[in-house]
Amino acid sequence: METSPAADRLTSRFVAGSTIEREVAVCQKLNADGYLATLDHLGESVHSLEEAQQSRDAYLAALEQIAKLEMEATVSVKLTQLGLDFSEANCRANIECLVTRAKSIARLVEVDMESSDYVDRTLQLVSNLHAQYGSVRAVLQAYLYRTESDVHNLCRQSIPIRLCKGAYRESSSVAYPRKKDVDANYVRLMLHLFDHGAYPAIATHDEAILDRAISYIRERNIAADRFEFQMLYGVRRDLQRRLVAAGYRLRLYVPYGNAWYPYFMRRLAERPANVIFLARNLLKN
């Protein structure tokens, strides 16, 4: 499916395209329209050291483009894409290579969070990298019970955090099963980040939560350069425009590459209406 010629048409709402050229064109346009970007070279759970190195090289190429074109962009990477499943040492060498390059051009590597099995290893690695180089952002998921304590820990180390709700299927032994509890936890953690976080990134399309964020920012007089909002490319473009027009920093997460299947499926699962959108596209000639 990933290499089918119909793929571009199906995925274009959420994915910039299959090549770095397409990605760069989309991100430059976003920058021109006032958005920040984070480039995600699609892929996760690679099967060999060579594949992990290819992912690292794809990210190095993305960082070269960011430097050359002076784009307002970070990169977002998953550790399983850099080989975490079969060699922690290799994974560390790969991510270190990206972080040192990002640091040399004054940009960040954002380390996406995957399913709960990976949280300890991911946070350990991010914490080591932050202590040694800076130039990294951690991601925490509000659906996990443990996240409150992770937020406090990372804030103590001044590690920048992207807060999201969480996109993986998790058991009720580790994650809040009810959406309303996830949302309540998100708001609690977000307010803590506004008060104690190092440049927090509020990653959500939830309008009620965004309204709460904005009222808190106003109440506390928090300057617009002390935090950013983040959203996914193609999701709630109306809200995206509104935030930028109101003068807030908004970074869009823009995926590219051929390995779009798991990413795309998570986006469909989040919202049943997306399946109708997909079906319409499948029926078009």
Ligand X SMILES: Cc1cc2nc3c(=O)[nH]c(=O)nc-3n(C[C@H](O)[C@H](O)[C@H](O)COP(=O)(O)OP(=O)(O)OC[C@H]3O[C@@H](n4cnc5c(N)ncnc54)[C@H](O)[C@@H]3O)c2cc1C
- Residue tagged 């699962």 (tokens): 269
Q: Where along the sequence are the contacts to ligand X (CB under 6 A)?
A: 112-113, 139, 141, 164-168, 203-206, 230-232, 235-236, 253, 267, 270-271, 274
Residue 55 CB, nearest approach to ligand X (Å): 16
Examine the residue annotation and report whether 112 is marked as an active-site residue of this protein.
Answer: yes
DSSP string, the chain: -TT-TTHHHHHTTT---SSHHHHHHHHHHHHHTT-EEEEEE---S-SSHHHHHHHHHHHHHHHHHHHHTT-SEEEEE-GGGGTTTT-HHHHHHHHHHHHHHHHHTT--EEE---SGGGHHHHHHHHHHHHHHH--EEEEEETTBTTHHHHHHHHHHTT--EEEE---S---TTTB-SSHHHHHHHHHHHHHHHHHH-SS-EEE---HHHHHHHHHHHHHHT--TTS-EEEEETTS-HHHHHHHHHTT--EEEEEEESS--HHHHHHHHHH-THHHHHHHHHHH--
Residue 16 CB, nearest approach to ligand X (Å): 14
| C-beta closer to ligand X: residue 46 or 143 | 143
| C-beta closer to ligand X: residue 37 or 46 | 37
Could you say which of 101, 137, 162, 267 is catalytic?
A: 162
Could you say which of 40, 112, 150, 183 is catalytic?
A: 112
Residue 279 CB, nearest approach to ligand X (Å): 15
| C-beta closer to ligand X: residue 7 or 49 | 7
| C-beta closer to ligand X: residue 23 or 112 | 112
| C-beta closer to ligand X: residue 194 or 253 | 253
In whole angstroms, what is the distance from residue 254 CA to residue 103 CA? 21
Q: Phi/psi at 201 (nearest 5 deg)? A: -115, 115
Residue 221 CB, nearest approach to ligand X (Å): 25
Residue 270 CB, nearest approach to ligand X (Å): 4
**Residues annotated as catalytic (active site), given as ranges:** 112, 162
